[in-house]
Chain A
Amino acid sequence: AQKVTQAQTEISVVEKEDVTLDCVYETRDTTYYLFWYKQPPSGELVFLIRRNSFDEQNEISGRYSWNFQKSTSSFNFTITASQVVDSAVYFCALAPGSNTGKLIFGQGTTLQVKP
């Protein structure tokens, strides 16, 4: 079965705190892709990152960083020095290796950053 689990439904932090959003996935495919999307209050879904299953290098982009660990089937997302504008729903997604772009989304984590 293909599945994405985001166990944290809601997280609330104070501005400038670091926060990590957890994502655990299930797949039997050896080739697959993992994604993070952001959905701000305005409602659109914004692409943040794509990772393929053969690339376990961590990635950093500004205040964002991602930790991909195949051994634990996890793809966690950390925001350093959070800001109010980071408040949004964050979705982790899995694309099985069938090369179609079909994404299976987790339930999402609502992040609230308070000033």
Chain B
Amino acid sequence: DAGVIQSPRHEVTEMGQEVTLRCKPISGHDYLFWYRQTMMRGLELLIYFNNNVPIDDSGMPEDRFSAKMPNASFSTLKIQPSEPRDSAVYFCASSLIGGGFAGELFFGEGSRLTVL
């Protein structure tokens, strides 16, 4: 089975532009997570979904960030407008938990965002 697929792998944009990051989780997984990794703050959970429903978005830095999961096979993380401090690697991860805590998180390869 294919792993978690993220696109784009690299994105360079200018301040003020809209950025959309995309994620395809592993088929059959019921949880999807968006993490951000920076040197200063390490790995931070931004938001996660269960069966396409957002459960906890307390990690989303501010209103400029939004995430959606329109169906079980696709999620987006959008930043509008982008700022230089948003530069980071954004990871998507999925997991199969079902009725109990069964699975580890499977991570995508990450999307490296640079905002100039």
Q: How many residues of A contact B (CB 8 A)?
A: 23
A53 to chain B, nearest CB (A): 11
Contact B56 A99 (CB under 8 A): no
Residue from the list A33, A47, A52, A102 in contact with B33, Cβ < 8 A: A102
The reply to whether the CB of A95 lies closer than 8 angstroms to some CB of chain B is yes
Q: Which of B87-116 contact A (CB under 8 A)?
A: 89, 91, 93, 95, 97, 100-101, 103-110, 112
Closest B residue by C-beta to A91: B43
Contact B50 A108 (CB under 8 A): no
B55 to chain A, nearest CB (A): 7
Complex contacts, B112 vs chain A, CB 8 Å:
43
Contact A101 B109 (CB under 8 A): no
Residue from the list B33, B91, B97 in contact with A99, Cβ < 8 A: B97
> How long is the Cα–Cα vector from A17 to B90 in the complex, in angstroms?
34
B interface with A by C-beta (< 8 Å):
31, 33, 42-43, 45, 48, 50, 55-56, 89, 91, 93, 95, 97, 100-101, 103-110, 112
27 residue pairs A–B, Cβ–Cβ below 8 Å: A33-B101, A35-B104, A43-B89, A43-B110, A43-B112, A44-B108, A44-B109, A44-B110, A45-B93, A45-B105, A46-B107, A47-B105, A52-B101, A91-B43, A99-B101, A100-B31, A100-B97, A101-B31, A101-B95, A101-B101, A101-B103, A102-B33, A102-B45, A103-B33, A103-B45, A103-B105, A108-B42
